């Protein structure tokens, strides 16, 4: 089945992670980065997960999963060593209309974690529909080599320019044309040249 690509707003949303090993730790970190309210259920946890709990960045309950853990949850990520528990979590999630991701088990996923290139607010996510995460990782590395850190700063300037344009009385067509001109390759090259000149001047000081 074709996947529907989307970027979720998770700020303040209740997200459940069952498991607290190294792989689960990565998933927890990505949820925290998105501003989610993260609850972790697992008898044992990595040092980082324990540290997040002590700092009250997450709520960790050192015990086994219970179906009642689904109360008020928007999505769940299961990352344990028990296939039978994963099956149980997936069934419970489907019954409650909760989005579910079982790590390394595409058949029991409502969504996948893509390989992501991040440059500030710029995010480029790659998915292979669960067919080859290795290919997604290779493509991520390739794109990382092509999309440098300069895109983060350029995007900040584009965002500021967009706000200024929307504050003006312009026709939608005129505004659209200006926004596309600002985001063009020519505009990016001008931004790079200006940034390079600024760096040279700073080095001379």
Q: Coil, strand, or helix at residue 120?
A: coil
Counting the structural domains of the chain, the total is: 3
- Do 139 and 154 belong together in one domain? no
- Do 66 and 131 belong together in one domain? no
Last residue of a domain, one of 100, 126, 147: 147
User: Would you say 62 and 80 are in contact if contact means Cβ atoms under 8 Å apart?
Assistant: no
- The verdict on residue 50 lying in a domain is yes
Ranges under pLDDT 50 in the chain? none
Return the half-sphere exposure (C-beta side, CA atoms, 13 A cut-off) of residue 108. Answer: 19
Which tokens sit at 155?
Answer: 């995007």
- Do 105 and 38 belong together in one domain? yes
pLDDT of residue 203: 75
- The verdict on residue 93 lying in a domain is yes
User: Would you say 125 and 115 are in contact if contact means Cβ atoms under 8 Å apart?
Assistant: yes
pLDDT of residue 97: 96
Residue ranges of alpha helices (H) inside 39-184 are: 47-54, 83-96, 133-146, 150-166, 172-182
pLDDT of residue 197: 87
pTM of the model: 0.82
- Do 97 and 179 belong together in one domain? no
Expressed as residue numbers, the domain containing 129 is 116-147
- Do 165 and 138 belong together in one domain? no
What CA–CA distances, in Å, run from 112 to 66, 80, 175?
A: 24, 17, 36
């Amino acid at each position: 089945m074709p996947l529907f690509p989307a970027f979720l707003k998770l700020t303040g949303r209740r997200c459940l992670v069952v498991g607290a090993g190294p792989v689960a730790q990565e998933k927890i970190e990505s949820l925290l980065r998105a501003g989610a309210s993260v609850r972790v259920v697992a008898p044992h946890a990595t040092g980082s997960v324990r540290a997040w709990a002590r700092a009250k960045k997450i709520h960790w309950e050192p015990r086994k999963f219970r179906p009642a853990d689904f109360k008020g949850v928007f999505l769940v990520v299961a990352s344990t060593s028990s296939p039978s528990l994963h099956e149980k979590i997936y069934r419970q999630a489907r019954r409650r209309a909760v989005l579910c991701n079982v790590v390394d088990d595409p058949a029991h996923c409502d969504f996948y974690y893509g390989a992501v290139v991040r440059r500030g607010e710029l995010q480029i996510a790659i998915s292979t529909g669960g067919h080859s995460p290795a290919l997604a990782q290779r493509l991520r590395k390739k794109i990382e080599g092509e999309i440098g850190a300069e895109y983060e700063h350029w995007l900040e300037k584009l965002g500021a320019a967009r706000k200024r344009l929307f504050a003006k009385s312009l026709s939608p067509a005129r505004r659209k044309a200006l926004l596309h001109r600002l985001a063009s390759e020519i505009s990016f090259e001008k931004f790079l040249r200006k940034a390079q000149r600024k760096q040279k001047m700073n080095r001379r000081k």
